[in-house]
């Protein structure tokens, strides 16, 4: 078993054990960051539909500022690619081949800001995901997206093993703030 596989297992179990519910205030530092970096009104904001004890980014939708933005969710495509599509809260979602929820695939959108799920992260803002590389491949294609990994502070690891496929995030948001 590789070091990454061992860490994935360890941090999945840790996240499941220590998971707790958050409220909309968790996202105040993110909203402040977005407002200071983007002046346009209709921002394309990519979320993920949480599962497996991932931090519940849907709480962000309770903030008035976010309600007016274009919300996107990822969908898995042919050849292990991923794209983002528009989604509104309470709109029907579909189950993909991995059992994850996806929006209706209508028109591909490229986000301005993307919230990225994390199993573990390090001080250098690298993340450990589930190992399929969907986000890394996507972010290598679209380099102008502001990326924010979303996690609990207990998911921090001192230095994750990484390779040439791993993409560094711009920020990490935890209950302790954004950096």
What is the per-residue pLDDT across 13-61, written as a single tens digit (0 to 9) for each? Answer: 999 999 999 999 999 999 999 999 998 778 999 999 999 999 999 999 9
Catalytic, 15? Answer no
Give me the domain span that covers residue 164: 3-178
Instruction: CATH number of the domain at 22, please.
Output: 3.40.50.10420
Q: How far apart are CA 40 and CA 33, in angstroms?
A: 14
For residue 79, give the DSSP letter.
G
CA-CA distance, 54 to 34, in Å (whole number)?
22
Residue 125, class by beta-carbon neighbours within 10 Å (0-12 exposed, 13-18 middle, 19+ buried)? middle
pLDDT at 39: 82
**In the annotation, is 166 catalytic?**
yes
Work out how many domains the chain is built from and give that number: 1
Residue of 122, 136, 137, 162 with catalytic role: 136
pLDDT of residue 42: 85
Task: Kindly report, residue by residue over 54-85, the tens digit of the pLDDT.
Answer: 999 999 999 999 988 999 999 999 888 999 99
What is the structure's pLDDT at 68? 85
Is 8 one of the catalytic residues? no
Taking a C-beta distance cutoff of 8 angstroms, is the pair 29, 173 a contact? yes
pTM score, whole prediction? 0.96
| Active-site residue, from 127, 162, 163, 168 | 127
Active-site entry in 8, 15, 112, 166: 166
């Amino acid at each position: 078993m590789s070091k990454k596989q061992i860490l994935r297992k360890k941090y999945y179990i840790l996240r499941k054990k220590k998971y707790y519910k958050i409220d909309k205030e968790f996202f105040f530092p993110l909203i402040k960051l977005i407002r200071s970096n983007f002046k346009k009104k209709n921002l394309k904001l990519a979320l993920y539909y949480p599962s497996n004890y991932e931090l519940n980014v849907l709480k962000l939708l309770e903030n008035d500022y976010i309600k007016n933005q274009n919300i996107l969710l990822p969908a898995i495509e042919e050849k292990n690619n991923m794209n983002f599509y528009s989604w509104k809260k309470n709109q029907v979602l579909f189950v993909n081949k991995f059992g994850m929820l996806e929006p209706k695939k209508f028109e591909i959108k490229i986000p301005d800001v993307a919230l990225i799920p994390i199993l573990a992260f390090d001080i250098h803002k690298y993340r450990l995901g589930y190992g399929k590389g969907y986000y890394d491949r996507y972010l290598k294609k679209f380099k102008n997206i502001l990326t924010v990994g979303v996690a609990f502070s207990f998911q921090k690891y001192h230095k994750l093993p990484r390779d040439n496929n791993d993409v560094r995030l711009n920020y990490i948001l935890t209950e302790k703030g954004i950096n």
